[in-house]
Structure formats: structure tokens, C-alpha cells
């Protein structure tokens, strides 16, 4: 039986939370995110050190490229069509890379995930960053586009709710497997591509292959500027927390990728 996710869901970043708050954090929610962000800083520092000295787990890992190929379905084709219509080249390529990185991390840790929902989420998660208007978090627009795609292809209510929350939650610091595999791996894949978080867990060949297939040209400046605008547009939102306390612009600049 299909049912809607509890509209009283108070977890930071879920679709009901964004719909109710427009992405504005309370003081208590901001403090909770700062604690998660501090842990992420430590995780990133340790991981980047391991990467620098060549003692990272990814060096011994292997994932056949065919295993990471996107699924093909009515949902994935509709999501891809929507993303190609809305996103610029740098953001579109980021979306493809986000899927592969998230899927790769899931394979390495044996996390089972609905690959169609993960791909749809990856392709649509940043659509709201393009020409944003109003004062609501950009993921609200991304999730609305995802819902339109879901309705277009007849996706179930449960799957639609899962897709929307994965999208609205994807840049909340500290998303764990408790949020569900789609939300967890979408957040993880995006974090690899944007700031290099957990990149040390991936086989270098996997990263090289996805960058060849979906080049990073101009991604860092484009994404840095998009998030600067988002932080200014929604000063009580998560982007502002990342900008102010996560040194987000610097984290993007020094991500372990050339561009």
C-alpha cells in the first residue's frame, strides 16, 4: 500500500522539513549541523592525509566499470531528459559523476540501493540551483521537478517520497545510512565530487574513468559561485552554514581534482 511520508518529519533536510521551513534552520538545528560538520572536517583531514601518503583503501579496490553503468528505465530516461534541459554542462557532468561515485561507495560497502532512484536523484538534485528565485532552499525546486518527473512516469508514492527526500537532504552535513540508502549514497556521491570527501575509498581507476566520461571542466568556479549565491539568497539555510563554518569555497578549491 502506498502512503505519504509523515508530513511532521522533523529531520533536517527531509522533503517535509524543507516544505515546512523553506530550508531555514532554527538555532538548535544550526548547532546540530555544526557538530556534524566538525566531525566531517576531522574525517576529511584524516582521509586526505591517507590519500597524500598513498595509504588509502581505494588503492587496493577494484570495481568493473560495467557494474557502475547507469540503469535504463522510463524513470531514468525521463530524469536524464529533464536534467539535460535544465542544467549547464558543468552541473550536468557533476550529476553523472555523483551517481557513479555514490553507486561505487555503495558497492564497496555492500549497501543495496534502488539504482533507478539513485540515478534519478543524482541527475535532478541540483536542478534548483539554476536561476533560483524567492527565498526558499534550492532543493525545494529540485524536489518539485523530481515529483513532476515521478508523476510523468507513474512512480509510486513511496518511491517518489524517497526520491524527493534524497534530493532535499543531499547536502546536509552528516547524512548516514539511517536516512535510507538512496539519500545516503546520493549525499556521499555528491560529497566526493564537490569536496573530495571519501574519495580515498574509491579506486583511482574509477575516478579517472568517470572524469574522462564526464569532464570536470569549469566545475569548481561554477559550483562555488552557485553556492555563494545560494548562501546569500537563503541566509538562514544550510548553504550559509557550509559557507561560514565549513570553509566551503576553500574545500571546493582544494578538492583532490584538477578542476
> What is the four-CA torsion angle of 255, 129, 120, 82, rounded to 10 degrees?
-130
**159-164: long-range contacts (C-beta < 8 A, 24 or more apart)?**
159/114, 159/117, 161/4, 161/5, 161/15, 162/114, 162/117, 163/117, 163/120, 163/121, 164/15
Domain that holds residue 92: 15-57+67-253
- 154 CB neighbour count, 10 Å cutoff: 9
Looking at the structure of the chain, the number of domains it has is 1
Residue 153, in any domain of the structure: yes
Tens digits of pLDDT across the chain (259 residues): 233 445 567 899 999 999 999 999 999 999 999 999 999 999 988 998 888 888 888 888 889 999 999 999 999 999 999 999 999 999 999 999 999 999 999 999 999 999 999 999 999 999 999 999 889 999 999 999 999 999 999 999 999 999 999 999 999 999 999 999 999 999 999 999 999 999 999 999 999 999 999 999 999 999 999 999 999 999 999 999 999 988 899 999 989 998 7
Report pLDDT for 193.
98
CB-CB contact of 160 with 150 (8 Å): yes
**pLDDT of amino acid 6:** 52
Quick check: is 9 in a domain? Answer: no
**Domain assignment present for 10:** no
pLDDT at residue 234, as a whole number: 96
Burial of 13 (0-12, 13-18, 19+ CB in 10 A): buried
Report yes or no on 6 lying in a domain: no
Largest Cα–Cα separation, the chain: 52
Does residue 237 lie in a domain region? yes
Predicted confidence at residue 1, as pLDDT, reads 28
Q: How far apart are CA 118 and CA 210, in angstroms?
A: 16
Q: pLDDT at position 5, please?
A: 45
Which pLDDT does position 239 carry in this prediction?
A: 96
In a domain, 236, yes or no: yes
Q: Please report whether residue 8 resides in a domain.
A: no
Q: Is 62 domain-assigned? A: no
Q: What is the pLDDT of residue 50?
A: 87
Amino acid at each position: 500500500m502506498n502512503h505519504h511520508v509523515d508530513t511532521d518529519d522533523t529531520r533536517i533536510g527531509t522533503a517535509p522539513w524543507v516544505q515546512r521551513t523553506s530550508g531555514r534552520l532554527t538555532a538548535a538545528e544550526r548547532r546540530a549541523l555544526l557538530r556534524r560538520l566538525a566531525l566531517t572536517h576531522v574525517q576529511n583531514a584524516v582521509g586526505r592525509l591517507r590519500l597524500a601518503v598513498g595509504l588509502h583503501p581505494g588503492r587496493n579496490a577494484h570495481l568493473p566499470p560495467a557494474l557502475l553503468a547507469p540503469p535504463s528505465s522510463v524513470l531514468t530516461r525521463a530524469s536524464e531528459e529533464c536534467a539535460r534541459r535544465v542544467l549547464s554542462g558543468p552541473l550536468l557532468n557533476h550529476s553523472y559523476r555523483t551517481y557513479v561515485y555514490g553507486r561505487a561507495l555503495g558497492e564497496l560497502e555492500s549497501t543495496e540501493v534502488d539504482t533507478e532512484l539513485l540515478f534519478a536523484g543524482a541527475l535532478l538534485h541540483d536542478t534548483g540551483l539554476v536561476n533560483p528565485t524567492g527565498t526558499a532552499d534550492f532543493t525545494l525546486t529540485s524536489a518539485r521537478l523530481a515529483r513532476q518527473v515521478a508523476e510523468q512516469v507513474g512512480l509510486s508514492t513511496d518511491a517518489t517520497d524517497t526520491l524527493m527526500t534524497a534530493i532535499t537532504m543531499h547536502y546536509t552535513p552528516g547524512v548516514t545510512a539511517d536516512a535510507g540508502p538512496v539519500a545516503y549514497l546520493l549525499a556521499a556521491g555528491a560529497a566526493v565530487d564537490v569536496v573530495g570527501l571519501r574519495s580515498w575509498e574509491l579506486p583511482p581507476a574509477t575516478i579517472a574513468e568517470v572524469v574522462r566520461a564526464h569532464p570536470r571542466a569549469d566545475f569548481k568556479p561554477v559550483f562555488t559561485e552557485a553556492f555563494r549565491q545560494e548562501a546569500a539568497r537563503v541566509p538562514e539555510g544550510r548553504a550559509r552554514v557550509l559557507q561560514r563554518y565549513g570553509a566551503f569555497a576553500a574545500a571546493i578549491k582544494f578538492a583532490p581534482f584538477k578542476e
